[in-house]
Structure 1
Amino acid sequence: MKTIFLAPTRNGVGLTSTALGLARALERQGLRVAFLKPIAQTHERAVDDSVHFARTVAHLNTPDPIPLHVAEEKLSHDGEEDLMEGVIAVSKQAAGEGVDVLVVEGLALTERNPYATALNASLSRNLEADTVLVSSLAQSGPGELVDELEIAAQHYRRSDGSGLVGYVLNFAPQHLDFSGLMAELRTRSPLLAGGELPLLGLVSLSPELKAVRTQDIARYLDAEVINEGELGERRVLTTVITARTVPNMANLFTSGALVVTPGDREDVVMAASLSHMSGTPLAGLLYTSGSLPEPSIERLCRAALTSTLPVLRVPTNSFETATLLSRMDSRVPHDDTARMDRMLDFIADRLDIVPLGARLRRPTSEAERRMPPSAFRYELIQKARAANKRIVLPEGDEPRTVKAAIRCTEKGIARCVLLAKPERVKQVAEGQGLSLPDGLEILDPDEIRSSYVAPMVELRRSKGLTEPQALAQLEDTVVIGTMMLALGEVDGLVSGAIHTTANTVRPALQLIKTAPGASLVSSIFFMLMPEQVLVYGDAAINPNPNAEELADIAIQSADSARAFGLPVRVAMISYSTGESGSGEDVDKVKEATRLVRERRPDIVVDGPLQYDAASVLSVGRQKAPDSPVAGRATVFIFPDLNTGNTTYKAVQRSAGVVAVGPMLQGLRKPVNDLSRGALVDDIVYTVALTAIQATQVEEQTQ
C-alpha cells in the first residue's frame, strides 16, 4: 500500500476538497482508495468536515481523527512520539484490507495552529508517505508562490532527496496565461525547473462551485423565513443590493440572483416578482431592516411571493446585511452533499495523476519500506501483545521499573513479574500516584529463593557449585530471575535500571548459555532516527572483537534487524573508507566484511566505511560510488565497544534520538540489559522487544 500526504503551503488553499478530489481521481484509475484525516482540524465536537464528506460523498470508511485537544496536550508535554503511535494506529484502521492507496489530509494552516507545518511534516514522515503540496494562486504572484513551494519542500523532502511527488495549484483565474506562468515559475525555482516537483493539477475558480444555497444564507443570517419555496434547492450565484432604480438594475435580475432590498422598495419587490413569474429562477428575495412590503403590494405580488421563490427577512439594514454576506464562510455545509460531490468531480477532472502512476503501481517488492520510529514502536507493541509473554523484572521495587510494569500490564504488552516485597512495590506505586493492576504479578524473593538452589547447583555442577554458594548467589534478584528463565517459568528477563551490564549478562552466560550456533553474545540498539530506525552493534558487550567475532556480530545484527521488519544493509564502520586507509584496525574490518560475505551471501554488506560515507547519500556517492551500502546503511557495525558506545550515546543525546536497547543477541533465551539512565518508555519498549524475542526463540526451536 502507498500513502499520499496532502500538505498545505499556507491557509485557505482548498485542502479538504483537493484531498478528496485526489481520492476520486485515483479511484477512477481502478485503485482501491482509503482516506484519513489523522488529527481533527478544530476543537468542535462535530464530525470533522473531511471525515464527514469522505463518508457521505466519497463513501469511504474513514475512522474518526484524533481529537485536536488530545494532540495539542501531547505536543505541549513532549509527547509527540506517543501522538505518532496513535496516528499509526488510526492509519492501520483506515487502510484495512486490500487498499492500494491511502490518501491522508494534513492540518490546514491557521493563525491558531503555528505548530501545524512541523506537525504535518512529522505526520508525513511517520506515515512513510509521499507528499503532495497544495497551494493557491489567490492573492499570490509567481514570486510568492515559488517561495511557498520552496520553503514547504524543505519540510517534506527526506534526507535522500525523496518524499515529494508533486503540487496542486487551486483558485487559478479563469483566463490565466498558463504557459507564461509555468515559464516564470521554472525560471524562479530550481525545484520546479528540475522536475523534482511536477504540477499535478491547476484548478480554476468556478462560481458554480462557490454557490451556496438560499437555505445557507438563511441559517447564516438567522433570517426569518417568510416563504420557504425552494429554499434548499436554489443557489446564490450573485447578490443584488438595490441601491438604484429598477430600470438601471433590471438586467441584474438573473438566474441565481439573491435580491437584497428593504421591504418598502415596492418597485424592487414587484420587479423581482415579475422576473420570477416570467421564469427567471431567482435565488430569493431578502427583506432588510425588518421591513415588509405594504399589504397592497403583497396582494399584488402574492402569486410570486407564495410560490417557489424563497422570501426572507432580517433586522439589519442593506449595508450591514451586505457586509455580513461578504464575510460568510465559504466552507461547504455538511448537509450540502450535492455541492461537494460536484466539487470533487470538478477537481478530479483537472488532476493529472500520471506522474503518480508509476510510483503507485510499482510492485511492493521493488519498493523498500523505510520504517519510521512511530511505525516501529507501534508494530513493536502490537507484536508484543500478540506474543503474550511472561517477562521477569528483577529490579521489582525500582520506581521506573514499577511504573513500566504497570503500563505494560494495562496495555497488555506482557505479563510482567516483579521480584520484590509486595508491600514495597505498593508503596512505590502509591508514591507515584499509581495503583497496581490486577494482572501485575509480584513475587517476594525471600519466599521463592530456596526453590532455585537445587536446580542451580545442577546447572552449575560442572563448575563445582555448592548449595551454600548457590544460596549466596541467589541473594541477587537478577540471579533468581535468570533461574526462572532457565527453568522455563518465564519467557524473558529485563534488568539494568540499577545494575551494571555485567550484573545482568554474567548470570545469563552462566545459566542460560549461548544459542545453538552462536559463538558469542552481542548487543544492538534500535536508534529511532527522525526518518527511519537504524541498528547499532555492538555498543554494550564486546570490548575489542577480532575479525571473526566482528563478522558474527554483523550477522547477528543483520538477522535481528530483519526479524523486526527493518531493511538490511550492513556497514562495517571504520575510520577510513574502502582502500583509503591501512593498518591493523582497518584490516580487521576488511577481514570481517569478507567473512560476512563468505558466510552469508544473502546479507548486503560493505566495509570499511566511515560513518558519514555509510549514512549520508551524497558523501557515500562521492567516497564509495560503487557500494550497495554507502549512504543507505541501516545496520552499523562498529569496530569496538569504545567506538560503538561513544557513537550511540553521542547520537542519542546530541540529536535527541530515542535508543531502544541494548537488545542482547546470541543467548538461548532472551535477556536484555537497560541503561541505568533508562526512562520509563525505554523499559516498556525493552520489555516488548524481549517478548518478541521469546516468540522468535520458540519458532527457531520448533
Structure 2
Amino acid sequence: MTVGVYVSAMTPGSGKSLISLGLSDALHRHADRIGFFKPIVMGDDAAADPMVALMRRSFNLDETRARGGMTEHEARALMGTGQRAEIDARSVAIYSEMARHCDVIIVEGTDLTGHDAAVEFDLNARLANNLGCLVLAVVSAREMTAAEAVEAVDIARRELLEAKCSLLAIMVNRAQPDALGSIESNVRRGASGRPVYVLPELAAISQPTVAEVSAALDAQLIAGSSRLDRDVTGIKVAAMNVGNFLNLLDDGHLVIVPGDRADVMVATLASALSADFPVPSALVLTGGLNPDPHIYPLLAHAPFPVFSVQPDTYDTARRVSEVRSEIASGQRRKVAAALGLWAVRVDENELLERLTLPRPATMTPLRFLHELIERARSQRRRIVLPEGSDIRILRAAEILRRRDVCDLTVLGSEQQIRDLASTEGIDLSGIELVDPALSPLREEFAVEYARLRAHKGVDLERAREVMTEGSYFGTMMVQLGKVDGMVSGAAHTTANTIRPALEFVKTREGVKIVSSVFIMLLADRALVYGDCAVNPEPDEEQLADIAIASAETAAQFGIEPRIAMLSYSTGGSGAGAAVDKVRRATELVRSLRPDLAVEGPIQYDAAADASIAASKMPESSVAGQATVFIFPDLNTGNNTYKAVQQSSGAVAVGPVLQGLRKPVNDLSRGCTVEDIVNTVAITAIQAQTDTSGGSPSEAYVPATGQEA
C-alpha cells in the first residue's frame, strides 16, 4: 500500500518547499519509488510547476511520479460555483494513478496566500483526509517571537485535530536564529506526542539570486558577466557621492543607480576589479536611461551583470525588496543549503518511524549518491583540498559546506582564493583557508618530511621547498592527523596526487600495492571495477592484492563483495600465460581470504549475466551475480569502464584509491563540481573506517614513474 505524506502550510510564507525537498531526500533513501504531487499549482499551466520540475530533476522522476493537478484559477472557479467535491475527485484520481507507480508520495498543499486563508486550510485538510495522507504541518515563525511561535504550533495542532487529520509532525520553519533554543524548550508535543522540529531562517536560502531579481524586474542585460546565480546579499541605492557610497558597499550587494550616473558606474566597476574592495552582485541602471557611450566599453568587462530597467530608482528598489527566493528555482547552492539545514535540524529516524516503507530492492545511481552524502555526514571528518585556485574546487567546497557533509580545509594563497570567490559569488564562510607558504605548520611538516626522506638525501632546506606545494603539504596534513583525508587532481596529474602518499603515507600493513577502483552505478545496482587507473601490468600476487582490497572497498560502501577475476577464458576452457596468471591469482585470493566469494578465470559475460553463467559455470556462487570485477591489466580495465560508462549511461564514481594507510583520492582533470562533491564524500567515509593503526608497508611503485 502506498504511503502518503501531505505537506501543509499552516501560515503564509511557511517555506514548505524546503520541507518537501528535505522529506523527499529522506524518503528517497528509504524507498524504491517516491512520488511528488501538487494538487493545486500556481500559474496557468499545471504541467509546468517549478517545484514539480525540481523534484523531477533532483530525484529522476518521470511524469507518472511527479506531477501537478489543476491550476489555482481552476480550483477557485470550482470553489466559487460550489463544486469543491470536484477538486477532491480530480485529486484522488491523479493520486490513485500515481500510487500504482509509487511506494510513497509527498503531496504539497497550497501556500495560504489567497484572500481567505481559512478556506485554503479547509481545502488542504480535506484533501489530506481524502487522499489518506499523514499531515506534515509547516508553521512559519518568521518575524515571530519565541512565544508567538509556540502559540502558532498549538493553534496548528488544534486546528488539525478538529479537522480529523492524522498528524505526522510539525515543522516550525524560518525561525529567528536567536529564538531557536527558546522555541524548542517551550514547544509542546501535545497529547499525540508527535515531534516538533524547529528550523531557522537561513540567508543562504532566503536571499534571492540575481536571476530571480532580474526576472522580477523584467530587466535587460546590457553589459558585464552573464552569470546570474550569485546571491543578492543586500541592496544599495546610489543617492550619495562616490566616496560615501563605496564606504557602504559590501560583497554581494545589488547596486541600483540612475542610468546617467557615470561616476557611480565607474566607481562600482573599480571596486569589483580591486582586491581590496567588495564585488557587487549586479548593477541595475534605472529610468530607461542609457549610459554615456564612453562608459559602455568599461562596463563590458564588468565581473558582474549590468541591467537596464524602465522604472525609476525608487520603484526599482521597492520591487527588488519584495523579491522572494524560491527553492523551486532549482538554484544548486540553495538546494544544498536546504538539504544541509534539514539534515542538521530534523531527526529522520524519529520522523519516519511511523511510515511503514517497503525495503528498497534496487540500488539506483541517485540513491547511491544520496546515501554517500548521508554516510559522510553521519561521522564528521575533515578533508583537505589542495587546489584552491580551481573554481570547481571552490564551488564544490561551498556545496559541501552548505549540505553540512564534512569540515574542509582549502590550500592556496588566501588572498587569491578570497578574490576568486568574491568575483564568482562563492560563499566560503565556515571553510578553513591555509597558505602552505605562510602556514606555521610548514616548518613542522618540513622537519618530518626531511626525517622520513633522509634515506633519499632530502635535507631540511629541500623539505621546506617541497612543503610549499599543495599536494605535499596536504598529504602531510593527512599523515600527521591534522585532517582525515585529501582529494586532489582537478588541476594536476594522478602522479602529482599519488606521489607524496607513496613517499611517506605508504600502504597499510599486509598490503603490497596501491590500486584503485571505480564504483559503477548502473540503473539498478552498483558494481566495483578494479584496477582501472593505477597499475599497468600487475603480476599474480599484485592482482590478488587488488582483488582483496577491492572487495574491502565494496563492503565499505555497502556492496556485498562477490569477486570475478576476469580473463578471456572461463574456468578451464582456455590456456596461456594471461589465463594462468589470473588462475593463480584466484587461488591466492582463496588462500589468503577464504571468507571471500571469488571465481576465476571468468569472462565478463559469465560473471555478469545469470543465464550465460548457468551454461558456462552452473555450480559457481559468483558467476552471473558478481559485484567486484577485477581486470587483468590497466589497458583492459580502463577501456572497459569507459565503454560501459559511455554505452550504458552508467555513472562512474572514482577512481577511489585503496591500500594506503590514510585516505587520499584522485580526481580527473575533467571532473565536474558533482564529481568533486562525491569524491570528498567517499574520502570522508573511508576516513570513518580508517584502519591505519599498523606500521606502514613499503609501497609498490607502479610503472608510471612515481617515486616511492
One-letter amino acid of the counterpart of residue 625, structure 2: R
What is the alpha-carbon distance in structure 2 between the residues aligned to residue 103 and residue 454 of structure 1? 55
Shift of 1:686: 0.9
Task: Indicate yes or no: 2:548 matched with 1:555.
Answer: yes
**Alignment correspondent of 2:465:** 472
What is the alpha-carbon distance in structure 2 between the residues aligned to residue 111 and residue 434 of structure 1? 34
What is the alpha-carbon distance in structure 2 between the residues aligned to residue 394 and residue 596 of structure 1? 36
Deviation per residue, 1:486-544 (Å, 9 max, x gap) = 22111111111121111111110111111111111111111122212111111111111
Task: Indicate yes or no: 2:383 matched with 1:394.
Answer: no
Give identity over the alignment, percent: 43
**Alignment correspondent of 2:409:** 417
Superposition RMSD on alpha carbons, in Å? 4.5
Shift of 1:476: 2.3
- Residues 409 and 431, structure 2, Cα contact 8 Å, conserved in 1: no
One-letter amino acid of the counterpart of residue 419, structure 1: L
Distance 1:624 1:121, change over 3 A: farther
Distance 1:701 1:36, change over 3 A: farther
- Residues 436 and 470, structure 2, Cα contact 8 Å, conserved in 1: no
**Alignment correspondent of 2:398:** 406
- Residues 393 and 676, structure 2, Cα contact 8 Å, conserved in 1: yes
Distance 1:509 1:660, change over 3 A: same
Task: Indicate yes or no: 2:443 matched with 1:455.
Answer: no
Distance 1:587 1:335, change over 3 A: same
What is the alpha-carbon distance in structure 2 between the residues aligned to residue 108 and residue 336 of structure 1? 11
**Alignment correspondent of 2:663:** 670
Shift of 1:219: 4.7
Shift of 1:584: 0.8
Q: How does 1:115-514 map to 2 (within 5 A)?
A: 219=79, 221-222=81-82, 335=126, 370-448=362-440, 449-514=442-507
- Residues 107 and 120, structure 1, Cα contact 8 Å, conserved in 2: no
What is the alpha-carbon distance in structure 2 between the residues aligned to residue 36 and residue 478 of structure 1? 48
Distance 1:648 1:102, change over 3 A: closer
Shift of 1:605: 1.2
Residue from 24, 27, 37 that aligns with 1:90: 27
**Alignment correspondent of 1:31:** none
Shift of 1:103: 8.5
What SS does structure 2 have at the residue aligned with 1:445?
coil
**Alignment correspondent of 2:654:** 661
What is the alpha-carbon distance in structure 1 between the residues aligned to residue 570 and residue 674 of structure 2? 37
**Alignment correspondent of 1:17:** none
One-letter amino acid of the counterpart of residue 126, structure 2: D
Residue from 617, 630, 640 that aligns with 2:610: 617
Shift of 1:369: 5.9
Task: Please report the TM-score for the alignment, with normalisation by the length of structure 2.
Answer: 0.52
What is the alpha-carbon distance in structure 2 between the residues aligned to residue 117 and residue 629 of structure 1? 42
Task: Indicate yes or no: 2:544 matched with 1:684.
Answer: no
Deviation per residue, 1:549-568 (Å, 9 max, x gap) = 11111111101111111121
Distance 1:608 1:470, change over 3 A: same
Which runs of 5 or more residues in structure 2 are unaligned? Answer: 11-15, 40-44, 66-75, 90-122, 133-358, 696-708
Shift of 1:594: 1.5
- Residues 36 and 105, structure 1, Cα contact 8 Å, conserved in 2: no
What is the alpha-carbon distance in structure 1 between the residues aligned to residue 527 and residue 61 of structure 2? 15
Shift of 1:121: 11
Which runs of 5 or more residues in structure 1 are unaligned? Answer: 1-21, 24-33, 48-63, 71-84, 96-100, 128-133, 135-151, 153-215, 224-230, 237-331, 342-366
**Alignment correspondent of 1:591:** 584
Distance 1:624 1:123, change over 3 A: farther
What SS does structure 2 have at the residue aligned with 1:643?
helix
What SS does structure 2 have at the residue aligned with 1:581?
coil
- Residues 421 and 443, structure 1, Cα contact 8 Å, conserved in 2: yes
Deviation per residue, 1:398-426 (Å, 9 max, x gap) = 11111112222222222111110112112
**Alignment correspondent of 1:605:** 598
Distance 1:108 1:383, change over 3 A: closer
Please identify the structure whose Cα radius of gyration is greater: 1
Shift of 1:669: 0.9
- Residues 126 and 374, structure 1, Cα contact 8 Å, conserved in 2: no
Shift of 1:337: 8.3
One-letter amino acid of the counterpart of residue 27, structure 2: V
Shift of 1:371: 2.9
**Alignment correspondent of 1:145:** none
What is the alpha-carbon distance in structure 2 between the residues aligned to residue 218 and residue 398 of structure 1? 55
Count of residues paired in the alignment:
418
- Residues 371 and 566, structure 1, Cα contact 8 Å, conserved in 2: no
Deviation per residue, 1:594-638 (Å, 9 max, x gap) = 211222122111122222222233333333333222222211111
**Alignment correspondent of 2:255:** none
Distance 1:370 1:633, change over 3 A: farther
Shift of 1:697: 1.0
What is the alpha-carbon distance in structure 1 between the residues aligned to residue 403 and residue 474 of structure 2? 23
What is the alpha-carbon distance in structure 2 between the residues aligned to residue 650 and residue 439 of structure 1? 38
Task: Please report the TM-score for the alignment, with normalisation by the length of structure 1.
Answer: 0.52
Using the TM superposition, name which of 544-553 and 628-637 deviates more: 628-637
Shift of 1:374: 2.2
Distance 1:587 1:410, change over 3 A: same
Distance 1:339 1:559, change over 3 A: closer
One-letter amino acid of the counterpart of residue 380, structure 1: L
Deviation per residue, 1:269-306 (Å, 9 max, x gap) = xxxxxxxxxxxxxxxxxxxxxxxxxxxxxxxxxxxxxx
One-letter amino acid of the counterpart of residue 531, structure 2: D
Distance 1:551 1:699, change over 3 A: closer
Deviation per residue, 1:111-155 (Å, 9 max, x gap) = 94899999999999999xxxxxx9xxxxxxxxxxxxxxxxx9xxx
- Residues 417 and 443, structure 1, Cα contact 8 Å, conserved in 2: no
What is the alpha-carbon distance in structure 1 between the residues aligned to residue 127 and residue 404 of structure 2? 44
